[in-house]
Amino acid sequence: MVWKKQMPIFFKTIWSNQFEPATQIQHASLIYKARFGSEGHVNEDIALVKTEDIPSHDMLVGGFPCQDYSVVHP
């Protein structure tokens, strides 16, 4: 897709985390890195990430697992 006009940047992502606990191959994380780059991206269980390892930020956004797309099975 070709954009005719550059969209203004209101926010800059400085850190991201994506982890699927039930898979050996982290498909979502690999796709994130392919689309947005690996700088500031972490592929770890968020419960194990130390608070001091998360950069200083103005806004923190989190989301629950996307069950429709998640590969985690009960």
Question: Residue 49 contacts by C-beta under 8 Å, 6 or more apart in sequence?
Answer: 17, 42
Q: Catalytic site residue 29?
A: no
Name the CA radius of gyration of the chain, rounded: 15
**Rounded to two decimals, what is the model's pTM?**
0.70
Of these residues, 4, 66, 69, 74, which one is catalytic? 66
SS3 string, the chain, reads CCCCCCCCCCCCCCCEECCCCCCCCCHHHHHHHHHHCCCCEECCCHHHCCHHHCCCCCCCCCCCCCCCCCCCCC
Q: What is the pLDDT of residues 4-57, one digit of tens each?
A: 677 777 888 999 999 888 778 888 899 999 999 999 999 999 999 999 999 999
